[in-house]
Chains A and B, each alone.
Chain A
Amino acid sequence: MSEGHSTYTPKTGIERWFDARMPLPRMVYDSFIAYPVPRNLNYMWTFGGILAIMLVAQILTGIVLAMHYTSDTNLAFGSVEKIMRDVNSGWLLRYMHANGASFFFIAVYLHIFRGLYYGSYKAPRELLWILGCIIYLLMMATGFMGYVLPWGQMSFWGATVITGFFSAIPLVGNWIQQLLLGGFSVDDPTLNRFFALHYLLPFMIAGVVVLHVWALHVVGQSNPTGIEVKSKTDTVAFTPYATIKDAFGMIVFLFIFAYFIFFLPNYLGHPDNYIVANPLKTPAHIVPEWYFLPFYAILRAITFNIGPINSKLGGVLCMFGAIVMLFLVPWLDTSKVRSAVYRPWYKLFFWLFVADAILLGWLGSQPAEGGGLLTLLIGEFTGNYVGYAQAATLFYFAFFLIVLPVLGLIETPRRLPNSITEAVLEKNKGGSGHPAGATAAPETKG
Chain B
Amino acid sequence: MKKILTSLALIGLVAAGTAAFAAEEAHNAAAPTHFPINEPKEMSWSFTGPIGTYDKGQLQRGLKVYKEVCSACHSMNLVAFRTLEGPTGLGYSDAQIKSLAATYTIHDGPNDAGEMFDRPGKPSDYFPAPFANVEAAAAANGGAAPPDMSLLAKARGVERGFPQFVFDIFTQYDAGGPDYIHSLLTGYDQTPPAGMVIPEGTHYNPYFMSGVSLKMPKPLSDGQVTYDDGAPQTVDQYSRDVAAFLMWAAEPHMEARKHTGINVLFFLLVFGGLVYLVKRKVWEGVAH
Q: A85-B78, A366-B22 are in contact. Are A274 and B268 (CB under 8 A)?
A: no
- Chain A: CB-nearest residue to B261: A262
Q: Which of A39, A264, A385, A443 contacts B286 (CB 8 A)?
A: A39
A259–B174 touching, CB < 8 Å:
no
B1–A443 touching, CB < 8 Å:
yes
Q: A241-B286, A351-B10, A358-B15 are in contact. Are A248 and B258 (CB under 8 A)?
A: no
- Chain B: CB-nearest residue to A38: B288
- Does residue B282 face the partner (Cβ distance < 8 Å to A)? yes
Shortest C-beta distance, A283 to chain B (Å), equals 10
B11–A351 touching, CB < 8 Å:
yes
A358–B22 touching, CB < 8 Å:
no
B18–A244 touching, CB < 8 Å:
no
Query: Using Cβ atoms and an 8 Å threshold, which residues of chain A touch B172?
Result: 263-264
Interface residues of B in 8-61 (CB under 8 A from A): 10-11, 14-15, 18-19, 21-22, 24-26, 50
For chain A, give the interface size range: 35 or more
Query: Which one of B183-191, B194-202, B218-226, B270-278 is at the A interface?
Result: B270-278
- Does residue B151 face the partner (Cβ distance < 8 Å to A)? yes
Query: Using Cβ atoms and an 8 Å threshold, which residues of chain A touch B21?
Result: 381-382, 384
Q: Is the interface of B mostly helix, strand, loop or mixed?
A: helix
Interface string of B150-161 (1 = CB under 8 A from A): 110011110000
Query: Which one of B97-105, B233-241, B249-257 is at the A interface?
Result: B249-257
Query: Using Cβ atoms and an 8 Å threshold, which residues of chain B touch A84?
Result: 253
Query: Using Cβ atoms and an 8 Å threshold, which residues of chain A touch B174?
Result: 263-264, 266-267
How many B residues touch A, CB cutoff 8 Å?
57
- Chain B: CB-nearest residue to A247: B275
Shortest C-beta distance, A257 to chain B (Å), equals 9
- Does residue B269 face the partner (Cβ distance < 8 Å to A)? yes
- Does residue B147 face the partner (Cβ distance < 8 Å to A)? yes
Query: Using Cβ atoms and an 8 Å threshold, which residues of chain B touch A366?
Result: 22
6 further interface pairs, Cβ-Cβ under 8 Å (given A244-B282, A251-B271): A85-B253, A240-B282, A248-B276, A358-B15, A382-B26, A384-B22
Q: Taking beta carbons and an 8 Å cutoff, which residues of A are in contact with B? A: 39-41, 78, 81, 84-85, 91-92, 95, 236, 240-241, 244-245, 247-248, 251-252, 254-255, 258-259, 261-267, 271-272, 274-275, 284, 351, 354-355, 358-359, 362, 366, 381-385, 388, 424-425, 428, 443, 445-446
A-B contact pairs, 26 of them (CB 8 A): A41-B288, A78-B78, A81-B150, A85-B78, A236-B286, A240-B282, A245-B279, A245-B283, A247-B279, A248-B276, A251-B271, A251-B272, A255-B269, A262-B258, A262-B264, A263-B172, A263-B261, A265-B257, A272-B155, A275-B147, A355-B11, A359-B18, A382-B21, A382-B26, A428-B287, A446-B4
